[in-house]
Chains A and B, each alone.
Chain A
Amino acid sequence: MAGGAATGGSAAADTYKSARHWLLLPSWLVLVLVVLAPVCMMLIYSFLTKEFRGGVIWEPTLAAYDQFFFDRGLFGDDPPKIEWTYITIFWRSIWQAGLATILSLIIGFPTAYFIATRPERTRALWVFLVTIPYWVNLLIRTVSMKFLLRDQGPMNDFLISTGLIDDPLRIVNTNLAVQLGLFYSYLPFMVLPIYASVERYNFAMSEAAADLYATKWTTLRRIVLPAVKPGVIAGCILVFVPSLGAFLAPDLLGGAKNFMIGSLIEEQFKGNAGNWPFGAAAAMVLLTMVLILLMIFARQQRRAEASP
């Protein structure tokens, strides 16, 4: 899944050595033209002047970044103060994505551990069960979540009919709904890498710890967790990164008050009132944050591989 293509396996066979550059040409052509060049173009656009009906005027300016970080008053001539609006939105996104990640870890780790300790022939089936929802349309899953959590939705009906609560829980349009939505969207990403780590873990180490009178929970904390740490970190990254830039969960479950980066960016491009350079700048800030995270992660993984 995500990030998995980075290992090409051991290259030994070179049957098609003479044709390799021709074979790679189509993928390079498409990915450079439609992914890499556009990202560079986005960087350039973030330094251009905005056109009022969307689009840009080719005049270089720092206006987009200035608007992002500084407040210069209504007419733009006050001494610059820090502009908190957008920083707050970014901070809220980090916070929401972080909580969703922790929630996924709390449910995902025991699940991954449980699956990895099943008999070998049933493991694939368990993994498959966890993976299926990921392939269902994210929009449909988010809509389903909204349907379930609604004030008059099936969850509230059920809780009221059992007498647990008297009034419906108002979850939709709160931060909690967004956290639940993000958690629900990316939970499989937490389970899979942890599962892969636990499956490779040598349980003889746990048994040795138990022989030396470690309790089971001490064993889990001191022996298992350090050994499967790369998988846990991978899972956290795979949940955190897409949550950070998510659009559907905050838009459908959060309502207007729970704006996240994704909605901020979308607003600049859809509709007529948009500000393309500002949207490009916000996307650049998001991309920079994600790339830094991925770089730290790659270093961590390399270090983990180096020390067996």
Chain B
Amino acid sequence: MSAKTDVKNYTGFRTLTFVCLFILYAPLVVVTIYSFNASPSITVWEGFSLRWYGDVFTGPESGKFKAAAINSFSIALIAATLATIIATSAATAIVRGGIFKTRTLSLGLISLPLMVPEIVLAVATLIFFNAVGFTRGYMTILVAHIAFCIPFAYLPIQARMQGIEDTYEQAAMDLYATKAQAFRRVLLPLMMPGIISGFLLAFIVSLDDFIITNFVKGAGVETLPTAIFGSVKQGLKPNIMAISTMLLALSIVMVTLSYFVSKTDNTK
């Protein structure tokens, strides 16, 4: 086929794809490189050093970062776990519950946190906690995170369950397994890749959230993003680049894990 009629290739599209990837990765790569800068200034490069990584753990701001990290990780762990359980249970009803009236409505409700702009969700949650008289703090952050993590956990779980034919459970029940047994011993193990993938995505989304957390956190309770935002507001510092690089690496590792787990096929 000549280049003129090769309908799959357009001049410049390959270049623009590389431009796209360059734009997506350049800022991250630059920050990663500069996080290893020995200089206390963020402008001049003075050679390779792990100094600012040490500073994150032992420097003057280390106490703040440590408390924020404990909050962030414990909230992400609890919120992702609960969101995954809730999402698995909802997916079972929606994918394996036949057709019923509230099915579409339930799907709409689950996608709601994805459709409403995050800042609106943040305002609404803050107003809700205020109206019911909850004191803002750790618990309010946790409750808000559970809610907006549900759709992120739900999507890979639903996708996985749709890929599993119900003949496996039918076979188990033909052999006198109860429904509960068929679910626990047959469907759940087959679903595991979807569930793990959903959990990991929910975990990252919770760990990354800034806007909603910023609204519903009380004074003095910080998560990593709100602590980083507070520091950045006073100017970019090298220790922020180090802590950002660590979070960035963690997100990439978890997404990669989620990707490969969701690809595994354990139905054979």
Contact B116 A287 (CB under 8 A): yes
Asked if B58 is at the interface (CB within 8 A of a chain A CB), the reply is no
Contact A16 B232 (CB under 8 A): no
Closest to A54 in B: B130
Contact B31 A42 (CB under 8 A): no
Chain B CB within 10 A, most for which of A3, A38, A141, A241: A38
Asked if A8 is at the interface (CB within 8 A of a chain B CB), the reply is yes
Contact A113 B13 (CB under 8 A): yes
Contact code string A1-45 (vs B, CB < 8 Å = 1, else 0): 111111111011111111111011011101110111111011001
Contact A9 B95 (CB under 8 A): yes
- Segment of B48-56, B63-71, B107-115, B189-197 in the binding face: B107-115
Residues of B within 8 A of A28 (CB): 106, 109
Bound Cα distance from A114 to B21, whole angstroms: 12
Contact B215 A269 (CB under 8 A): yes
Asked if B175 is at the interface (CB within 8 A of a chain A CB), the reply is no
Residues of B within 8 A of A300 (CB): none
Residues of B within 8 A of A3 (CB): 111, 114-115
* Minimum distance in angstroms from B212 CB to a CB of chain A: 11
Asked if B176 is at the interface (CB within 8 A of a chain A CB), the reply is no
* Minimum distance in angstroms from B82 CB to a CB of chain A: 8
Closest to B15 in A: A110
Asked if A216 is at the interface (CB within 8 A of a chain B CB), the reply is yes
Contact B146 A30 (CB under 8 A): yes
Interface members, chain A 129-180 (any B CB < 8 Å): 129-133, 135-141, 143-148, 150, 152-154
Given contacts A3-B111, A4-B155, A5-B158, contact A38 B20 (CB under 8 A): no
Q: Out of A11, A21, A42, which one reaches B95, CB within 8 Å?
A: A11
Contact B89 A23 (CB under 8 A): yes
Contact A35 B170 (CB under 8 A): no
Contact A283 B252 (CB under 8 A): no
Contact B109 A9 (CB under 8 A): no
Residues of B within 8 A of A207 (CB): 5, 7
Residues of B within 8 A of A153 (CB): 43
Given contacts A137-B247, A280-B127, contact A8 B114 (CB under 8 A): no
Bound Cα distance from A1 to B113, whole angstroms: 12
* Minimum distance in angstroms from B236 CB to a CB of chain A: 6
Asked if B139 is at the interface (CB within 8 A of a chain A CB), the reply is no
Residues of B within 8 A of A143 (CB): 31, 228, 232, 236, 240, 244
Contact A13 B96 (CB under 8 A): yes
Bound Cα distance from A92 to B20, whole angstroms: 26
Asked if B150 is at the interface (CB within 8 A of a chain A CB), the reply is yes
* Minimum distance in angstroms from A153 CB to a CB of chain B: 8
Given contacts A39-B120, A148-B26, A245-B119, contact A110 B96 (CB under 8 A): no
Residues of A within 8 A of B112 (CB): 31, 35-36
Contact A26 B97 (CB under 8 A): no
Interface members, chain B 174-214 (any A CB < 8 Å): 179, 182-183, 201, 204, 207-208, 210-211, 214
Bound Cα distance from A188 to B150, whole angstroms: 21
Asked if A197 is at the interface (CB within 8 A of a chain B CB), the reply is no
Contact A26 B89 (CB under 8 A): yes
Residues of A within 8 A of B106 (CB): 24, 27-28
Bound Cα distance from A4 to B162, whole angstroms: 14
Contact A184 B23 (CB under 8 A): yes
Interface members, chain B 111-168 (any A CB < 8 Å): 111-121, 123-128, 130-131, 143-144, 146-148, 150-151, 154-155, 158, 162, 166
Contact B92 A184 (CB under 8 A): no
* Minimum distance in angstroms from B260 CB to a CB of chain A: 10
Chain B CB within 10 A, most for which of A144, A148, A276: A144
Closest to B255 in A: A135
Bound Cα distance from A131 to B204, whole angstroms: 14
Bound Cα distance from A282 to B177, whole angstroms: 55
Residues of B within 8 A of A13 (CB): 95-96, 98, 166
Contact B113 A110 (CB under 8 A): no
Residues of A within 8 A of B93 (CB): 16, 19-21, 23-24
Closest to A211 in B: B5
Asked if B75 is at the interface (CB within 8 A of a chain A CB), the reply is no
Asked if A279 is at the interface (CB within 8 A of a chain B CB), the reply is yes
User: Besides the contacts A27-B90, A141-B27, A144-B244, what 4 more A-B pairs have beta carbons closer than 8 Å?
Assistant: A8-B103, A23-B93, A34-B125, A41-B127
Chain A interface (Cβ < 8 Å from any Cβ of B): 1-9, 11-21, 23-24, 26-28, 30-32, 34-39, 41-42, 45, 55, 107-108, 110-111, 113-115, 117, 128-133, 135-141, 143-148, 150, 152-154, 184, 187-188, 191, 203, 206-207, 209-211, 216-217, 219-220, 241-242, 244-248, 252, 261-262, 265-266, 269-270, 276, 279-280, 283, 286-287, 290, 294
